[in-house]
Chain A
Amino acid sequence: MRIRLIFLILLSLNAVLSGCAVLHKVQLSDLNRPKGKVRKKVSIKASETTVSLRELGDLTRAAGQTFKSRGAENTGKLLQAYTTFFQMGPTTGTPVFNELYARDIPQRLASECKNGTLTDIISVRESREYPVVKGEVVRIDAVCVTNRAR
């Protein structure tokens, strides 16, 4: 009995802590052969942590119903109503407050490949999903071709 309980706790911890990776979009560039002798792999990642108000509302409402707390139930209902009215329409991942986290991607790519040409660019938009908390991620891999090693 105790072993089963420990196993269940470990399984739940694993599910909560590891987080599922959800793929949203993959985009590839041309794979050219620019002039240059040195090929260096470049990898950048931009991410933003956010909270899923919809999930928070569902959980709060369910907790309110379970523990007979009218306040929690109403808070859950309010959050659900908020997401219904203000977070509707097609989305990619969970909404974040702003897109500033992804604004400096070209500058970061350029700084990783000074005096070189970037090719083989692959852009991946994905999410790391934990209960209520989500990580919205942009990962870009490329190859920097230069004439000399830095």
Chain B
Amino acid sequence: MVKRLHFIWFGLVLSSLGCTFARSISQTNLPQDRRHPIKVVNEKLIFLGFNFDNDQAFKLPEKLRNACPKGAVQGVLTKDLITMYFLFFVWAEVTRVEAYCVNPPKNIAQEDGSLPDELATGL
């Protein structure tokens, strides 16, 4: 009985450990104003490869907008990872996004809160 419990415990510990692979990493231009870093994570668990859509990825811009409602999000680092769990029965598709929320300066922002083109495009 004790042996069986040890076995179950060992299995649980092993299944909680994962190996992470970075599938792709991309970075956009860094802004000068880097005072407000933001982070967003998207995660989806997949069992035995049964995955019928990747629509979760398209929620990332909305999550970033929610994290920075009044500013521009620049210097976006997108890390696309996959974490494999015990015996690869279950894995997680993880997308971590780190960026900077650049608030429009009050003296430059226009009436509707938007930035002039040259500032909005980060040039």
The chain A residues found within 8 Å of chain B, CB to CB, are: 18-37, 117, 120, 122, 124, 126, 139, 141, 143
The answer to whether B95 touches A26 (Cβ under 8 A) is yes
Contact between B121 and A141, CB atoms less than 8 A apart? no
Contact A21 B121 (CB under 8 A): no
Residues of B within 8 A of A (CB): 23-24, 26, 28-29, 49-54, 57-58, 60-61, 64-65, 68, 71-76, 78, 80, 93, 95, 97, 99, 104, 110, 112-117, 120-122
21 pairs of residues in contact across A and B, judged by CB atoms under 8 Å: A18-B52, A23-B51, A25-B24, A26-B24, A26-B60, A26-B78, A26-B80, A26-B95, A28-B26, A28-B28, A28-B78, A30-B72, A30-B74, A30-B75, A31-B99, A34-B117, A35-B117, A120-B61, A122-B57, A141-B58, A141-B61
Task: Judge whether B49 and A20 touch: CB under 8 Å.
Answer: yes
Instruction: Give the distance to chain A from B1, nearest Cβ to Cβ, in Å.
Output: 36
Residue with the greatest number of chain A CB neighbours at <10 A, chosen from B57, B64, B122 = B57
Most buried by B among A22, A26, A117: A26
